[in-house]
A and B are shown apart, each in its own frame.
Chain A
């Protein structure tokens, strides 16, 4: 079956670093996405990994290990505006995205 697991909620301190993990088991794999979703808003794209390794984009980095079915999103120098849900999604072979339930990140001053 198709399964994507993420922690339900995480708490971190402003200025710190946080790592949000995602593990997946899907019938096909054509890339892994991370999206940010603020409460009451639509998801917005953060990153895309299709090959193993680390992709860095400013304060955000995303890592993928296809052999382990594992990814993480790393957020550095946390700001209050980073309080949001972070959704992990896998693109399967049929041009569909399979979505995790999301990780709610709470930033404390």
Chain B
């Protein structure tokens, strides 16, 4: 099992550009999450999904969108990138066991 994979690992965007962060898991987990982590801070939940076709907002959803057409994939879309979206983005998946599995992260800089 590859676990949770994320692409790209690094990205630099100009203000106003858009991009999609990809997340895929091969563990057949129902729950998937997108977090952002600013330097020296904890994880903030952006969006989550409890199954294909179901998504819900987390703590900091503004400026982002998600979709969940399959169990495996949970892409995060940034529209009109702003400097405040400079952060490290982590995707995670979860089943009815208690451990969340994290992807390696995407380091995004908006300038």
**Contact surface of A with B, Cβ cutoff 8 Å:** 4, 31, 33, 41-45, 48, 87, 89, 95-97, 99-102, 104
B104 interface residue per 8 A CB criterion: yes
Q: A45-B100, A48-B98, A96-B48 are in contact. Are A101 and B42 (CB under 8 A)?
A: yes
The answer, yes or no, to whether B13 is at the interface (CB within 8 Å) is no
**Given A45-B100, A87-B43, A102-B40, 7 other A-B residues pairs in contact with their CB atoms under 8 A:** A4-B42, A89-B43, A95-B48, A95-B94, A97-B45, A97-B100, A104-B40
What is the number of residues of chain B that contact chain A, defined by CB distance less than 8 Å? 21
Inter-chain contacts of B58 with A (CB < 8 A): 96
Chain B residues positioned under 8 Å from A42 (CB to CB): 90, 102-105
Whether A99 contacts B100 by the Cβ 8 Å rule is no
